[in-house]
Homo-oligomer: A and B are copies of this chain.
Amino acid sequence: MSKLGLIAGGGALPVSVAGRCEAEGRPVFVIRLAGFADPHLARYPGVDAGMAEIGRVLSALKKAGCDAVCFAGTVNRPDFKSLKPDFKGMTLLPGIIAEAAKGDDALLRKILSVFEAEGYVIEGADDILGGETLPAGALGAFSPTPAQIADLKKALHVAEKAGELDIGQGAVVCDGLVLAVEAQEGTDAMLARVAGLPADLRGSAADRKGALGKAPKPIQDLRVDMPVMGARTIELAAAAGLAGVGGVAGKLILIDHPAIVEAADRLGLFVWGETR
How many of these chains are in the complex? 2
Q: A185-B193, A201-B76 are in contact. Are A100 and B176 (CB under 8 A)?
A: yes
Across-interface contacts of A182 in B (CB, < 8 A): 181
Contact B76 A175 (CB under 8 A): no
Q: Which of A165-203 contact B (CB under 8 A)?
A: 165-168, 171, 175-185, 189, 193, 197-201
Q: A101-B176, A104-B177 are in contact. Are A185 and B197 (CB under 8 A)?
A: yes
Q: Smallest CB–CB gap between A172 and chain B, Å?
A: 8
Q: Which residue in B76, B178, B183 is a CB contact (below 8 Å) of A180?
A: B183
Q: Which of A14-37 contact B (CB under 8 A)?
A: none
Contact A77 B201 (CB under 8 A): yes
Give A201 to B77 CA distance when docked, in angstroms: 6
Q: Which of A49-108 contact B (CB under 8 A)?
A: 76-79, 82, 100-104
Contact A76 B184 (CB under 8 A): no
Residues of A participating in the B interface, judged by any CB pair closer than 8 Å: 76-79, 82, 100-104, 157-158, 161-162, 165-168, 171, 175-185, 189, 193, 197-201
